[in-house]
Chain A
Amino acid sequence: MPPRADILTKVVLFQDLEAHAMATLAPLFIAKKFTAGTVIFREMDDSDALYIVEHGTVIVSKHVSGDVDMVLTRFQRGDFFGEMGLFDNAPRSATANVETDSLLWRLDRAVFHDIFSHHPEIAAKICYRLVTIFIERLRATNEQTRDAIRWGLEATGYASGSHSLFGRKSI
């Protein structure tokens, strides 16, 4: 069963597509149900598909050390993730963990590339939207990096301003 049209229209990635393009895309998605606590893909897995969240929440995290991951972001209804590896063929850069029972729509890499080959007008609109989304996510990452650094500085008491050391300069 393909995803309902109202789900796809809520996905920013497909915002510029017209109804007939949506109708072309919709049957290509496969429904996947995940229960809370399961892992959709792990860091360094092959990047084989893109996912759209119909309901539920997914946490994307990056391994830090031992059994600790740092939470990067949280995806909810209408969000999509896992698109990066479809372009650069690199392994997954983070782990997708299901926080609450979720229904996701999966678009396989081969199908994705097929759209690009056979429907260049759809591909162009998706690509344009992707660029703006990447920019947004890059900005968010910058903020996150700054927050992480601020956290480190505050947590270690390093952020309390500069202090001069003791010394004697004989003049």
Chain B
Amino acid sequence: MAEPAKLQLLTHKPGETGFQLHEIHSSQAYLGYRPQRVAQESWAITAQPKSPDGRHNYVLKNLQYNRYLLIDEKELFLWEFFDGSHSLEEIARSFHHRFGAFDYSVIRQLLPKLHQAGLLVERENLALKQILVRSQTSFWATGFSSMAKCWRGLSFTVPDADQHCAAIYRYGGFVLFHRITLCLTIFLAILAGITALRLSPQAKQFTQLLSATPWRSGAIMLAVLLAASMLHVLIHALACKSYKRRVREIGFFLLQGVLPTFYADVTDIFMSTRRARVVVDLAGPMVEVALGSVAFLAAYQFGSGVGQAVLFGIGVLLWESALINLYPFNFLEMDGYNIVADLLAMPTLRQQALALMPNLPRRLLRMKSIQRAEWIQIGYLLLCFVSVLVYVIAHLDAVRALFPRWN
């Protein structure tokens, strides 16, 4: 590791000849650094429900840039001291007094997070930082990063998403969040369920009809799925508006850098209650449930043929999509996962579980020292592995049925 950078300064005393030289190491300046948070009206903090290991978490929001940070109790303690009048050395002393120990890495990790969220008064110089980082990367790394940049370039966001969503909500969107709408959706789903059961004996026939025209049927189903996926995201955003929270973004991105996905950034819902978060999570899959129900009912009314098979297929796909969305254990942060994370008060459950994975064998050997939160993370990992495996195996048969030539 490189030595701390040092700066030589020269100072003059007014009215005196001569000067004094001072050599200041960055580490020394760091201890004397007095972080100052942005003005009170530029940020807000909301306490989150207590996590299973008894820890309190908070969401700290930059109201100006709409950036969010999840901080724990210790970080909150530090944040309260970042008023520009306490040096890091003084803060460290107070921290030690309060918690009985101090590790500078707590501050070292918190400061860049606050910088990045624009919550400290210092000027951000991200561009400069990126240039410094870029200058150290190799030819191959640069090549890969350019390729990744091109691929990421496919992503887009809808400008002024919050305003659009507010308008849609105001001019009729609010109806979707009325109890009557929920009751109607449930009624429709029950009816569709009965219909689907009645149609299910013909499932094999539907599959044969679909495999006779795989491309056309596939294209129609894909288009419907795409439309449903967009609507799904819009409903999440409208649900967020129903709690008078801001929709930070609506857009399209590559999930895990690969899977094309629409999304609505509803982080602002963390400034509201847990119930609100669960409602926002549930609202999206209701689109697939409702549209899938309509497809099943339409298939029931439709005369037998390819049309009926396509409608039945769409119904199955949409309901399956809703199920996948609501199923929490698939390694993705989908709606079901969000609900579980909210109910467990572990908003970063997936990240924590993935971070635990490399140390898992070592932790399992010392089973007694595993804490409650870690058991939950282990359980999450286990269920994810099993679920993905079962899903893959179950779908191998379906794929074979669709493409008989593969058998």
User: Which A residues lie at the B interface, using CB under 8 A?
Assistant: 36-38, 59, 61, 64, 67-71, 97, 99, 146-151, 153-158, 160-163, 165-171
Q: Interface residues of A: mostly helix, strand, loop or mixed?
A: mixed
Q: Which residues in B have their C-beta under 8 angstroms from that of A156? A: 30, 33, 35, 111, 115, 122
Which of B259-267, B289-297, B303-311, B379-387 makes up part of the contact surface?
B259-267
Please determine whether A150 and B10 come into contact, CB atoms closer than 8 angstroms.
no
Closest to B71 in A: A166
Chain A binder among B18-26, B169-177, B187-195 = B18-26
- The answer to whether the Cβ of B132 comes within 8 Å of any Cβ in the partner chain is yes
B9 with A70: CB separation less than 8 A: yes
Instruction: Give the CA-CA distance A170 to B279 in the complex, in Å.
Output: 12
Check A59/B10 contact, CB under 8 A, given A154-B27, A170-B266. yes
Q: Looking across the interface, which residue of chain A has its beta carbon closest to that of B265? A: A169
Query: Complex formed: what's the CA distance from A67 to B280 in Å?
Result: 57
How many interface contacts (CB-CB < 8 Å) are there between A and B? 142
Q: How far, in whole Å, are A68 and B24 apart by their CA atoms in the complex? A: 13
Assess A151 versus B6: contact at CB under 8 Å? Given A166-B267, A171-B261. yes
Chain B residues within 8 Å of A158, by CB: 111-112, 115, 122, 125, 129
Q: A37: nearest residue on chain B (CB-CB)?
A: B18
Contacting pair A37 B116 (CB below 8 A):
no
Tell me the nearest residue of chain A to B348, going by C-beta.
A166
Chain A: which residue is nearest B240 at the CB level?
Answer: A170
Chain B residue at minimal CB-CB distance from A155: B29
Beyond A64-B9, A161-B112, 4 additional contacts (C-beta under 8 Å) are A97-B10, A151-B5, A154-B30, A155-B26
- Closest partner residue, chain B, to A74 (CB atom): B8
Q: What's the least CB distance linking B269 to chain A, in Å? A: 7
Q: Does B67 contact A (CB under 8 A)?
A: yes
- Give B173 Cβ to nearest chain A Cβ, in Å: 16
In the assembled complex, how far is the CB of residue B33 from the closest CB belonging to chain A, in whole angstroms?
Answer: 6
- B316-358 contacts to A, CB under 8 A, are 332-335, 338, 347-348
Query: Within the assembled complex, what's the spacing in Å between the Cα atoms of A161 and B116?
Result: 11
Kindly provide the distance from the CB of B99 to the nearest chain A CB, expressed in whole angstroms. 19
Q: Does B281 contact A (CB under 8 A)?
A: yes
Answer whether residue B395 sits at the interface, using C-beta atoms and an 8 A cutoff.
Answer: no
Residues of A within 8 A of B361 (CB): none
**Roughly how many angstroms separate A150 CA and B59 CA in the complex, as a whole number?**
31
Whether a CB of chain A sits under 8 angstroms from the CB of B107 is yes
- Chain A nearest CB from B265 CB (Å) reads 5
Cβ of B113 under 8 Å from chain A: yes
Residues of A contacting B129 with CB < 8 Å?
A: 153, 158
CB contacts (< 8 Å) of A160 on chain B: these are 108-109, 111-112
Name the residue in A150, A158, A163, A169 with the highest tally of chain B Cβ atoms < 10 Å from its Cβ.
Answer: A169
Chain B contacts for A147, CB-based, 8 A: 5, 7
The smallest C-beta distance from A23 to any residue of chain B, in angstroms, reads 38
Given contacts A151-B29, A165-B67, contact A37 B111 (CB under 8 A): no
Known: A69-B10, A157-B111, A170-B266. Contact between A150 and B69, CB under 8 A? no
Which of B26, B30, B70 has most chain A Cβ within 10 Å? B26
Known: A38-B17, A168-B338. A67 touches B113 (CB 8 A): no
